């Protein structure tokens, strides 16, 4: 249609965003152009830095540091992907680590120091489990794009040819904190007598976190170009509303038994989840207040940002009343 804004839009294969790509959710005056992008920032990313993009699905570990560094992006209060983080803390079974405080004085392996999983883990260990994270050394494989302003942080960068999981299995590190999306690797770690989880009751721990302070840890956020936001100040609000519609469409699919997932009694499982958790994928600033506040604090405390950033610095103006 003439006059439509063609908007590059990260391809996201989440059930709550698929209605966009299926053409079931429209945005007035906008034509979406699905684009393959990475949510990870392992090096300088000129398109994101200069604002030469449309809508991007970004790993939350880079979001506030990028804003602090002046990159031309701004967020929507749409946390497109969430994962519990307690399952991703593994320890050597023979390292004498029985409780979180035992991590002090130890070395933790990770793929990258600054991803959403590691930021959340450090913050939760410090604030909910009394761990002095300044006493932990980190062994990472991928160097950082953004500076770390906490000069007490100890990070040793190692050859990335050997995975962090293998370094744990071989006894080179005491513990492991990293996102694992590989079923075979999870099976190796869960079945190895050399390895145990720091929180074997991780599902209970995750639900306790949500029940007590309302956080189900997000790991991705939707960002848009600041250039676009300045040129079209109404766009972010329209996008936010469309993400809400897409999510509700996906929920309706599940509750109508047309979700298309290979899970027996998916509808019943979803209804149980809503009864226990409400909407764990909730969007908006008000309903994510405790999550946003924790994220801002953790980033500042861990040296990721020079100051605690305010909502107006983080989110597009047309979404500040959500």
Low-confidence ranges of the chain (pLDDT < 70): 1-2
Query: 267 and 300, same structural domain?
Result: yes
- pLDDT score, position 2: 54
For 143, residues 6+ apart whose C-beta sits below 8 A from its C-beta are 157
- pLDDT score, position 259: 81
Query: 207 and 125, same structural domain?
Result: yes
Report strand pairing: 137-142 vs 107-112.
parallel
Query: 282 and 244, same structural domain?
Result: yes
- pLDDT score, position 180: 86
Domain holding 181, by residue range, is: 86-213
Burial zone of 89 (CB within 10 Å; 0-12 exposed, 13-18 middle, 19+ buried): buried
d(C-alpha 165, C-alpha 178), whole Å: 9
- pLDDT score, position 118: 96
d(C-alpha 209, C-alpha 202), whole Å: 10
Query: 260 and 176, same structural domain?
Result: no
- pLDDT score, position 278: 93
Query: 262 and 178, same structural domain?
Result: no
Torsion of CA 143, 148, 150, 156, to 10 degrees: 10
Q: Can you tell me which residue has the tokens 């209060």?
A: 77
**Pick from 246, 219, 271: nearest CA to 22:** 246
The 10 Å Cβ neighbour count of residue 97 is 20
Torsion of CA 142, 192, 210, 177, to 10 degrees: -20
Q: Which two tokens stand for residue 282?
A: 């909730």
CATH number at residue 158: 3.40.190.10
Query: 209 and 101, same structural domain?
Result: yes
- pLDDT score, position 163: 86
Overall number of domains in the chain: 2
Query: 175 and 28, same structural domain?
Result: no
Asked if residues 165 and 189 have their Cβ atoms less than 8 Å apart, the reply is yes
Query: 185 and 92, same structural domain?
Result: yes
Helix (H) or strand (E) holding 109: strand 107-112
Query: 46 and 151, same structural domain?
Result: no
- pLDDT score, position 3: 74
Asked if residues 80 and 59 have their Cβ atoms less than 8 Å apart, the reply is no
Residue that is last in its domain, among 213, 238, 254: 213
Express each pLDDT in 118-141 by its tens digit.
999 999 999 999 999 999 999 999
- For the chain, helix, strand, coil in percent to 5 are 40, 20, 40
Q: Can you tell me which residue has the tokens 């997932």?
A: 261
d(C-alpha 256, C-alpha 249), whole Å: 10
Query: 75 and 222, same structural domain?
Result: yes
Residue that is last in its domain, among 156, 189, 213: 213
Query: 76 and 164, same structural domain?
Result: no
Residue that is last in its domain, among 213, 242, 268: 213
Query: 99 and 168, same structural domain?
Result: yes
């Amino acid at each position: 249609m003439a006059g439509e804004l063609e908007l590059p839009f990260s391809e996201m294969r989440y059930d709550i965003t698929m209605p966009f790509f299926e053409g079931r959710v429209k945005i007035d005056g906008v034509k979406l152009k699905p684009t393959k992008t990475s949510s990870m920032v392992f090096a300088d990313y000129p398109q994101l830095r200069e604002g030469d993009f449309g809508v991007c699905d970004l790993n939350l570990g880079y979001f506030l540091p990028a804003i602090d560094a002046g990159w031309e992006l701004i967020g929507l209060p749409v946390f497109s992907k969430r994962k519990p983080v307690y399952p991703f803390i593994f320890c050597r079974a023979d390292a004498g680590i029985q409780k979180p405080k035992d991590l002090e004085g130890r070395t933790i392996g990770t793929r990258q120091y600054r991803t959403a999983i590691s930021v959340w883990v450090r913050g939760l260990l410090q604030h909910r489990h009394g761990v002095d994270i300044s006493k932990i050394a980190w062994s990472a494989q991928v160097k950082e794009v953004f500076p770390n302003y906490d000069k007490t942080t100890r990070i040793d960068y190692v050859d990335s040819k050997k995975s962090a999981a293998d370094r744990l299995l071989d006894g080179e590190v005491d513990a492991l904190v990293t996102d694992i999306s590989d079923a075979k690797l999870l099976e190796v770690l869960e079945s190895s007598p050399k390895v145990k989880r720091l929180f074997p009751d991780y599902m209970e721990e995750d639900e306790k976190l949500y029940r007590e302070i309302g956080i189900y840890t997000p790991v991705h956020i939707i960002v848009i170009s600041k250039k676009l936001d300045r040129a079209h100040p109404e766009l972010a609000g329209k996008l936010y509303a469309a993400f809400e519609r897409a999510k509700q469409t996906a929920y309706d699919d599940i509750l109508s038994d047309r979700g298309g997932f290979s899970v027996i009694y998916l509808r019943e499982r979803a209804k149980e989840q809503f009864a226990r958790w409400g909407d764990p994928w909730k969007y908006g600033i008000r309903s994510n207040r405790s999550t946003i506040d924790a994220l801002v604090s953790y980033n500042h405390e861990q040296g990721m940002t020079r100051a605690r950033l305010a909502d107006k610095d983080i989110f597009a103006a047309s979404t500040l009343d959500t």
